[in-house]
Copies of this chain bind each other. A is one copy, B any other.
Amino acid sequence: MSPEQAKDILMKKDGFSQWMDLDIEKVDHGYSKLHYTIRPEMLNGFGTVHGGVLFSASDSALAFACNSHGILSVAMEVSISYTRPAFEGQRLTVEAQEINLGKTTALYDIKTYNEEGKLICVFKGTVYRTGKPVE
């Protein structure tokens, strides 16, 4: 199974990524890159993008990257650091990279940037590799 095929399987059933209208530019082994635009319903009480939205897009990028090997993998432990606010109408870019690929777990670094290339948040994700195929 190719990274592209694994992504298609995930995306087809992923109602939340569809709601976010994620535009997936690229998937490869241990890698993914995507874009999305901040809509009004993605804002928090301060008029900036909700932390949960930044998290969710990063989490989806993680899912595409970690399942790219064709082995069903699920996030187990994640941390996110916010470095700069993002606002309605901005188009963000999310890039996921594999830091370590173990037998039962793997580690990913996911960064989100705004249109000027400024860092919005850093997401570190540890996944559990179930050993079952993505399907």
Contacts and interface: CB of A to CB of B under 8 A. Distances in A.
What does DSSP make chain A's interface, helix, strand, loop or mixed?
Answer: mixed
A23 to B, nearest CB: 17
B107 A122 contact: yes
Interface in A97-125: 99-100, 102, 104-105, 107, 109, 119, 122, 124
A71 interface: no
Interface residues of A, number: 53
A59 B63 contact: no
Interface of A: 9-19, 40-47, 50-53, 55-57, 59-60, 63, 72, 74-84, 99-100, 102, 104-105, 107, 109, 119, 122, 124, 126, 128
Q: Which 8 pairs between the two chains have the least Cβ-Cβ distance?
A: A52-B56, A10-B45, A79-B79, A16-B50, A83-B100, A14-B45, A15-B41, A55-B55
